[in-house]
Amino acid sequence: MGQRSMSSQFLQKARLGELDTLREIVQVVTPRNASVDLIDLLFNFITINGVPVLERSRHDLVSAAVAAARPTLCLRALWKIVNSSDRLKPDVKSALVQRIQDAGGDLFDWTRFCLQTGMLCISEDMLTQRPPSRLEQYLLQADLLTQLLQLDSGCFNALTSSCEFVQLFVELWTAKSEPQHGNHSSITYRMAFVGPSTICPILELASTVLSEEGSRDLLFSRFDSVKSCEAFCQAAVDRIRDDRENNTVPGWIQYFLALVAILTNLVRRSHLFRSQLTHLSYLTELCVATSRAMDVTPETKGTARDLCSGMMGIFALAMDRGSRQRLHRNWEHLHNGQFLQILFRAAAALEPEDRQVREHIISTVDSIGRATSSPKLFGGSTFGSPWPSLEAFKRYPTLLNAWKRLLFLQDRAREACRRLETRPSVFACDYQHCYRSVLKGHEMPKQCAGCSSVVYCSQKCQEHDWKDFHRNECLHANDLHSRLAHSKTIYDHDTRASHIALLEVIVSGMRSRDSAPSDHILTIDLDAAGDGSPEKVLVESLSDIRETCARHLPAYLQPRVVSLFEEYHGRNFPPNWRLIKGVFSPFTDNHKTIQLILLLKPVEDGHMGVYCIAQYQ
Ligand SMILES: [Zn+2]
Ligand SMILES: [Zn+2]
């Protein structure tokens, strides 16, 4: 029957639903001999009975198998037609597209039914293994769906707006594979194919579903709680771990990059998926998989470049600036996966011609360096294991310098964290004209009961300050305090304390007293890092700073700031006190830089910030 269409007599017989005739159709049908009549016939059997609901008794399963006999045979014929559909005649193709637009739901539901029950909906001559493995069926099914998506734009739209299609995709994505050779009990194998020349068809399908607005919305609407997307996310993470066993195979890196792109899409588009994936420590898993790939992948040209691209993708995922806590946790996950060590190794293996990737790495390393200006977020974790010699970068001076800068900044951030932990238990009196410091434990400091934001060495100082300033501040300060407690993204006390500690470390490292005359103050701008230097240090005129304070600080703080500046200008403070300004980059999405005006007093081994006013602009 090969090239010619099937005779009308033959189709007439098939219309009666004779199983043998339908079986014969499965055997002889090709994209070439398919006709409009045949397409109609196949779809009639696929749509005539509803798809049985699974999860019932065994008896039901038997009757379901009977009900599925004809639709299953028709599916086999149909998927054969879809395979290499580029050879379809135009009228047959448009009939196929039309029926999929009208009744695609049944087609996908039956296919899902077959995958779940183990009934074959793919013709045996398309499967190479005897008996066909689940893995082979799932991969081929995903491939057929991808071919269907490419059939025609109308078909593409019908699929990506179909709930049943998305359900079928979820089945393909979440299904587990038979255990692979050996017993790797800790890993659940997913239907995933890593081969030298093709991307896993299930990954390819996932990329399409996630990149189209319609199907993505349908997918997300199926999951309405963190719990409900657990299985989907677990399947994604299992795919990363799965790779860990497979990543000696050529082609693994392309698979890995596709997976990173899919995860990026999930994390960026849905906070539920982001939470669930984070809960599963996907960033750590990605780092560990990369690290293993580097251990086993033979050095071939381009491998290091691809691995570096993957690492950049992972880093971009981690730099979630939406909230301080998330950023901190992501960073810990990267650290647990030894992100920096892996990046270092991958960068060292780059070829001279990989100039662009190298520049990308330099900018990443610089942004990690900038992030250490919030020591509480990034500086606390140690990047423990010994670094390979920086000699590896000798060939690339700009990369070498970036890495040296990072190591320097990390040391400094660590020092700031250490200071926070071992702070001498000294506090300074908050009354501006009092120069006393109090050693905790010796005298009880007097804290303002109204706002808890100021402390004094004595009741006398407290009374003076109340009269001069604090009576106008207390209510506002109390207000701010309760707002801080309830906000997740606002600049919190801990982060501010770590900023102060970092400024202390920087100032302690400066030799002479600030070179600024009394009408200027030293500004340490950590937001302007770059051009090879970790920060920008300049002097700014006091009147300029007063002006910006007048614009950005709340009115109740103005009298105190003005008085602080006047005391400084009039040289009324002891000569070893310093007034500085620190500028920090925003670490949340509000895009406002943080500016701190800090008064520093000398203590045992350096300086200590006693008076700090924060403003955003
Ligand atoms: Zn005092
Ligand atoms: Zn108060």
Percent of the residues in the chain that have a pLDDT greater than 70, as a whole number? 85
Q: How many other C-beta atoms can be found within 10 angstroms of the C-beta atom of residue 374?
A: 25
- Region of poorest pLDDT, from 57-71, 181-195, 227-241, 576-590: 181-195
Q: Are strands 455-456 and 520-525 parallel, antiparallel or unpaired?
A: unpaired
Go through 410-440 and write b for each residue having 16 or more CB atoms within 10 A of its CB, e for each that does not.
Answer: bebbbbbbebbeeeeeebbbbbbebeebbee
Q: What is the pLDDT of residue 131?
A: 84
For residue range 82-136, what is the model confidence (pLDDT) as tens digits?
A: 998 778 889 999 999 999 999 889 999 999 999 988 889 998 888 888 888 888 8
Mean pLDDT on 212-217: 92
Distance between CA atoms of residues 278 and 236, nearest Å: 12
If residue 595 lies in a helix (H) or strand (E), which one and from where to where?
Answer: strand 594-603
Identify any residues that bridge with 147 across adjacent strands, giving them in sequence order: none
Task: Report CA(46)–ligand 1 centroid distance (Å).
Answer: 87
- Token pair in block for residue 407: 């190591």
> Average model confidence (pLDDT) for the chain?
83
Task: Report CA(523)–ligand 2 centroid distance (Å).
Answer: 29
Task: Report CA(466)–ligand 2 centroid distance (Å).
Answer: 8
Task: Report CA(476)–ligand 2 centroid distance (Å).
Answer: 9
Residue 20, pLDDT above cutoff 60: yes
Tokens 């990363």 locate to 240
On whether the CB atoms of residues 178 and 188 are closer than 8 A, the answer is no
Task: Report CA(439)–ligand 1 centroid distance (Å).
Answer: 12
Q: Which ligand is nearest to the CA of 454?
A: 2
Task: Report CA(472)–ligand 2 centroid distance (Å).
Answer: 9
**What count of Cα atoms within 13 Å lies in the side-chain half-sphere of residue 239?**
28
Q: What is the pLDDT of residue 56?
A: 58
Q: What is the pLDDT of residue 425?
A: 60
Q: Which ligand is nearest to the CA of 610?
A: 1
Q: What is the pLDDT of residue 253?
A: 83
Task: Report CA(607)–ligand 1 centroid distance (Å).
Answer: 19
Q: What is the pLDDT of residue 385?
A: 52
Banded pLDDT at 466 (limits 50, 70, 90): very high
Residue 140, pLDDT above cutoff 60: yes
For residue range 518-554, what is the model confidence (pLDDT) as tens digits?
A: 788 889 998 876 666 778 888 888 888 888 888 888 8
In this structure, which amino acid lies at residue 468? D
Task: Report CA(202)–ligand 2 centroid distance (Å).
Answer: 62
The SS3 assignment for 46 reads helix
**What count of Cα atoms within 13 Å lies in the side-chain half-sphere of residue 140?**
24
Banded pLDDT at 516 (limits 50, 70, 90): low
Q: Identify residues whose C-beta is under 5 A from ligand 2, the ion.
A: 448, 450-451, 474
Task: Report CA(564)–ligand 2 centroid distance (Å).
Answer: 18
Task: Report CA(500)–ligand 1 centroid distance (Å).
Answer: 22
Tokens 């997307």 locate to 229
Residue 391, pLDDT above cutoff 90: no
Task: Report CA(497)–ligand 2 centroid distance (Å).
Answer: 20
Task: Report CA(446)–ligand 2 centroid distance (Å).
Answer: 11
Distance between CA atoms of residues 173 and 206, nearest Å: 8
Q: Which ligand is nearest to the CA of 481?
A: 2
Distance between CA atoms of residues 525 and 538, nearest Å: 8
Residue 190, pLDDT above cutoff 70: yes
- Token pair in block for residue 354: 């990989």
Task: Report CA(456)–ligand 2 centroid distance (Å).
Answer: 11
Mean pLDDT on 578-601: 81
Phi, psi of 474 (to 5 degrees): -55, -50
Burial class (CB in 10 A: 0-12, 13-18, 19+), 514: middle
375 against 245, higher pLDDT: 375
Q: What is the pLDDT of residue 159?
A: 93
Q: What is the pLDDT of residue 68?
A: 87
For residue range 488-515, what is the model confidence (pLDDT) as tens digits?
A: 545 677 778 888 899 988 988 776 555 5
Q: Which ligand is nearest to the CA of 436?
A: 1
Task: Report CA(543)–ligand 1 centroid distance (Å).
Answer: 28
* Of 15-24, 167-176, 406-415, 560-569, highest mean pLDDT: 167-176
Q: Which ligand is nearest to the CA of 432?
A: 1
Banded pLDDT at 208 (limits 50, 70, 90): very high
* 201 prior amide bond cis, ω within 30: no
**What count of Cα atoms within 13 Å lies in the side-chain half-sphere of residue 509?**
14
- Token pair in block for residue 162: 């179909």
Q: Which ligand is nearest to the CA of 443?
A: 1
- Region of poorest pLDDT, from 208-217, 251-260, 378-387: 378-387
On whether the CB atoms of residues 276 and 226 are closer than 8 A, the answer is yes
Alpha-carbon radius of gyration of the chain? 33
Q: Which ligand is nearest to the CA of 452?
A: 2
Residue-range domain boundaries for the chain: 1-176+188-214, 223-422, 492-616
Distance between CA atoms of residues 243 and 194, nearest Å: 8
Q: What residues have CB less than 8 Å from 536, skipping those under 6 apart?
A: 524, 525, 528, 529
Task: Report CA(454)–ligand 2 centroid distance (Å).
Answer: 6
Q: What is the pLDDT of residue 1?
A: 47
Q: What is the pTM of this model?
A: 0.82
On whether the CB atoms of residues 579 and 598 are closer than 8 A, the answer is yes
Task: Report CA(331)–ligand 2 centroid distance (Å).
Answer: 36
Q: Which ligand is nearest to the CA of 472?
A: 2
Instruction: Tell whether the torsion through CA atoms of 86, 87, 93 and 97 is positive or negative.
Output: negative
Q: What is the pLDDT of residue 166?
A: 95
575 against 338, higher pLDDT: 338
Q: Which ligand is nearest to the CA of 556?
A: 2
Q: What is the pLDDT of residue 2?
A: 47
Q: Which ligand is nearest to the CA of 480?
A: 2
Q: Which ligand is nearest to the CA of 450?
A: 2
Task: Report CA(469)–ligand 1 centroid distance (Å).
Answer: 14
Identify any residues that bridge with 580 across adjacent strands, giving them in sequence order: 522, 598
- Angle at alpha carbon of residue 510, lines to 507 and 515, rounded to 5°: 95
**Length in residues, the chain:** 617
Burial class (CB in 10 A: 0-12, 13-18, 19+), 271: exposed
Q: Which ligand is nearest to the CA of 451?
A: 2
* Of 224-238, 387-401, 517-531, 535-549, highest mean pLDDT: 224-238
Mean pLDDT on 390-418: 86
Q: Which ligand is nearest to the CA of 447?
A: 2
Q: What is the pLDDT of residue 242?
A: 74
**DSSP state, residue 436:** -
Q: Which ligand is nearest to the CA of 475?
A: 2
